[in-house]
Amino acid sequence: MLTLLRNGVLLTPAPAADASVLLVGERVGRLGDVDEAALAALGLPYAVVDARGGFILPGLVDPHEHLIGAGGEKGFATRRPEVSVEQLLLAGITTVVGCLGTDGVTRHLGALVGKVQQLVAEGVSAFLYTGGFHVPPLTLTGSVTEDLVLIERVLGVGELAISDVRSSHPTLDELARVVSSAMVGGRTAGKAGVTHFHVGPGRGLLKPLHALLDNYEIVPECLYITHANRSDELMDDAIALSRRGGYVDVDTVDPGIGRWIRYYLEHGGAAERLTVSSDAHTAGAEPARLHQELVSMVREHGLPLEQVLPFFTANPAAALKLRGKGRLAPGLDGDVVVLDRHSLEVVHVVARGRWRVRDGRLLAGGQGDEA
């Protein structure tokens, strides 16, 4: 299948002026001028996505979602539902990473693997973290390292809780063993091998992670924290971690994260180490919030689209070593979103080379049929 996106302003996420994007199968074949007459002369079927008046950019990468639901900490009535493929695509999310969270009793890694595989079958690129809030981590094979090596879609371990009443309060030695196990599994399998840390509002902040870097042979880029936007004190500590080489994520559960992005950048946080996630489905968090906060940063906080777009695309892809994701270049994955140039609303979405959202409406299985 060939898909041509034309007449839009290209952000790769770096600005690349007016250009067309030709997708060949599930990959980007060409950026720039595309001779449509020559393309038609091939005699092959192709779809044309008119991006006139819009921005053409990489599909959004959401590095932290509770794909099989979260919540339940205030009783079973507070459990949240699964995330659907429709919610992802309509938000411009073409790559997502799932995690368990607090509840490792009534929610299971096997169910999360099944959900990830369902989303893959439905056309979205989906992955997961093994483990959960507690140490020792829950696993599918009996070991974090083996999960990473043997299970294709596992990228790391987490979200592992620190500085939180819900944490299992692991010792530094226990944390070091988990982080090292994930790193070894990642290196063996050619994956990120990160440990994804849920950071709570506790007074410990990121002290355990700084202690790991100070006292153990830990590679900083294997540490990837989330919920850094809880307080100024935590954000300051996250900025310090980013300077040491760790990755920092802010979630969109509470609106208005533009102020946190400004704070992070103005106080010297490493821009290439910052990501944004939806944290869906926790209370108040939906996949759509990821796109809404991207729009808010530009329209309400005055941040340039080309400055903030990497936090939603290239940076999470780099943190998770998803080498085909988060950027548009020949040979990379054909995940493309078209935003209206004025409203920044999602107009079209192409995921893995297939047209999935047209004029803001979901198509059932790709080119052609509406849901």
Q: Write the DSSP string, 299-325.
A: HTT---HHHHHHHHTHHHHHHTT-TTS
Looking at the predicted structure, is the pLDDT value of residue 132 above 80? yes
Cα(77)–Cα(73) distance, integer angstroms: 9
Q: What is the pLDDT of residue 366?
A: 55
User: Tens digits of per-residue pLDDT, 330-370?
Assistant: 999 999 999 999 999 999 999 999 999 999 999 986 554 44
User: Locate tokens 């974090």: which residue?
Assistant: 144
Choose among 64, 275, 286, 273: nearest CA to 159: 64
73 contact partners, CB below 8 Å, separation of at least 6:
102, 103, 166
Mean pLDDT of 64-88: 90
Q: What is the pLDDT of residue 19?
A: 83
Cα(348)–Cα(334) distance, integer angstroms: 13
Mean pLDDT of 122-128: 97
Question: And the tokens for 301?
Answer: 């906080």
Mean pLDDT of 259-287: 95
Looking at 279, 335, 359, 369, which residue is catalytic? 279
Active site residue 33: no
Cα(43)–Cα(308) distance, integer angstroms: 40
Extended strands (E) in 116-264: 125-130, 154-162, 194-199, 223-226, 247-251
Q: Average pLDDT, whole number, for the chain? A: 95
CATH number belonging to domain 2-57+326-362: 2.30.40.10
User: pTM of the full predicted structure?
Assistant: 0.96
Looking at the predicted structure, is the pLDDT value of residue 295 above 60? yes
Q: What is the pLDDT of residue 365?
A: 66
Residue ranges per structural domain of the chain: 2-57+326-362, 60-319
Pick the CATH number of 60-319 from 3.40.50.300, 3.30.420.80, 3.20.20.140, 3.40.930.10: 3.20.20.140
User: Tens digits of per-residue pLDDT, 23-59?
Assistant: 999 999 999 888 888 888 888 898 999 998 899 999 9
Choose among 23, 19, 3: nearest CA to 11: 19
